[in-house]
Amino acid sequence: MRIGYIAEPYEEQGASGMGYVVHETMRHMLVEGRGTHTFVFYSSTPINRSFIEGEYENVRMPKGFIRQFIWFLTHRLRVDVLFFMVPLLPLLIRKGTKTIPILQELEGKDVLSSMSLRTKIVEFTHDRILLPLTLRRAACSIVPSNATKKEVLAAYRIPQERLSVIPNGFQNLENVQSIPPAPSLKPYFFFAGRVKFRKNVHGIVAAFIAFKQRTHAPVQLVIAGPHGGAYFRELQEKLAQAGLTNDAHFLGYVSTEELRGLFENALACVFPSLHEGFGMPILEAMSLGVPVITSSVSSTAEVGADAALLVSPTDTHAISEAMEKIHTDPALRVTLIKKGLERARLFSWSRAAREYLALATTV
């Protein structure tokens, strides 16, 4: 079978979010489909064959939504099945190719309320016009969690049997050399991800302030990920008002080696997002033997299950109490570490790729 995959967004070193999912999907499809399928990867920038190794054809397509729209309309793709990440939307594809969009998440209402008017208009166009058309035309669609499946079924009128749940893998940091953090940072709670509203970093900061004011424990907060803008300044102001500027550290981008060191030396990974389609940092932490505090809503509760401390993301007191429990209860830490290691073994990109390819043969 000839399988096509739209490698957008294509990123190499330092890829995160969708970019990371794209290159891991390509890599593992090539491994799992070797000798059985042939692969065609479509991209607007050339794929580095030393970065994505294996047998495949790389077809270049133009940049930009309008140009890509016309390109898909006028080109015969010559593949049996085409996988692509929403929100990339090849709405009109010539007959003969079955499409399988991969929808990582829907934006939650709490997140939409924080967006600018322009962004809301773009999201409305995507969510109410483009996405429904894509899902209805698809042979089948993929989501990474049952929570996301429920959201999609509630929002769009598509048959349940045309929506498949295939969990993501995660970045296995065990294969990366560890660079430990500076001793002056320890002990600390850790968050990895972009500093933005949806990630509920404001909730983490507020809970950390409450934890410090209640316990006066010599514990710090370490946040690794891109930051900036008004949202970041508000976080800094809150910490300054509490007199905790020197206890919270925003590191910005870190290497994978540094990321492993930060994870495995943390008291806990704190990840109480307002909304997630999956939540890979939960599994990254668990695989390294780190306790996890995460949200009791959306897919994070599904991914973490009973191997994490689940809290309401809007309940600052609950997040703060979870921090205190992990800091003061060694037995709880041991239990969470053991359950987390077992939980992480259930997820991998190899498994996801096998299930993608199995689905391709049945649509």
> Is there a single domain that holds both residue 198 and residue 245?
yes
What's at 349, amino acid-wise?
W
pLDDT bin (cut points 50, 70, 90) of residue 114 is low
Contact 112, 96 (CB under 8 A): no
Residues 118 and 241 in one domain: no
pLDDT at position 85 is 83
For residues 208 and 322, the answer to whether their CB atoms sit within 8 Å is no
CA dist., res. 22 & res. 20, Å (int): 5
Structural domains in the chain (count): 2
Give yes or no for a contact between 169 and 21, defined as CB atoms under 8 angstroms apart.
Answer: no
| CA separation for the pair 3, 33 (Å, rounded) | 10
Whose tokens are 């299930």? That residue is 355
Do 197 and 76 share a domain, yes or no?
no
How is the chain split among helix, strand and coil, in percent rounded to 5? 45, 15, 35
| Mean pLDDT, residues 183-193 taken together | 96
Report residue 5 CA to chain centroid gap: 19
CB-CB contact of 140 with 81 (8 Å): no
CA 123 to chain centre: 19
Whether 283 and 151 map to the same domain: the answer is no
Beta carbons within 8 Å of 219's beta carbon, 6+ residues apart: 187, 188, 189, 211, 212, 247, 267, 323, 327
Over residues 237-290, the pLDDT tens digits come to 999 999 999 999 999 999 999 999 999 999 999 999 999 989 999 999 999 999
pTM here is: 0.90
Give the contacts of 208 (CB within 8 A, at least 6 positions apart): 189, 221, 244, 247, 248, 320, 323
Same domain flag for 38 and 152: yes
Laid out side by side, the sheet with 309-311 consists of 248-252, 220-224, 188-192, 268-271, 292-295, 309-311
Please give the Cα distance from 240 to 237 (Å, whole number). 5
- What pLDDT was estimated at residue 68? 83
Q: What domain range includes position 266?
A: 173-344
Return d(Cα 57, Cα 38) in angstroms, integer: 8
Mean pLDDT of 44-52: 92
With CA atoms as reference, report the closest residue to 226 among 24, 51, 21, 17. Answer: 17
Name the amino acid, one letter, at 159. Answer: P
Q: Which tokens belong to 145? A: 């969690």
Q: Which amino acid, 10?
A: Y
Helix (H, G, I), strand (E, B) or coil at 269: strand
Q: Are residues 44 and 75 in the same domain?
A: yes
- 268 and 200 part of one domain: yes
- Write down the residue that tokens 């993501």 correspond to: 168
Hey, CA dihedral for 222, 223, 227, 233, is it positive or negative?
negative
Decide if pLDDT at 334 tops 70. Answer: yes
Kindly tell me if the per-residue pLDDT of 13 is higher than 80.
no
Of the candidates 75, 50, 51, 49, which has an alpha carbon nearest to the alpha carbon of residue 62?
Answer: 75
Provide the sign of the torsion angle of the four alpha carbons 125, 25, 200, 342, taken in this order: positive
66 with 159, same domain: the answer is: yes
Mean pLDDT of the chain: 91
Residues 151 and 215 in one domain: no
185: domain CATH number is 3.40.50.2000
Distance CA 338, CA 12 (A): 33
The reply to whether 156 and 227 lie within a common domain is no
The answer on 196 and 80 residing in a single domain is no
Tell me the pLDDT band of 233, cut-offs 50, 70 and 90.
Answer: very high
189 and 307 both lie in a single domain: yes
Decide if 231 contacts 250 (C-beta within 8 A): no
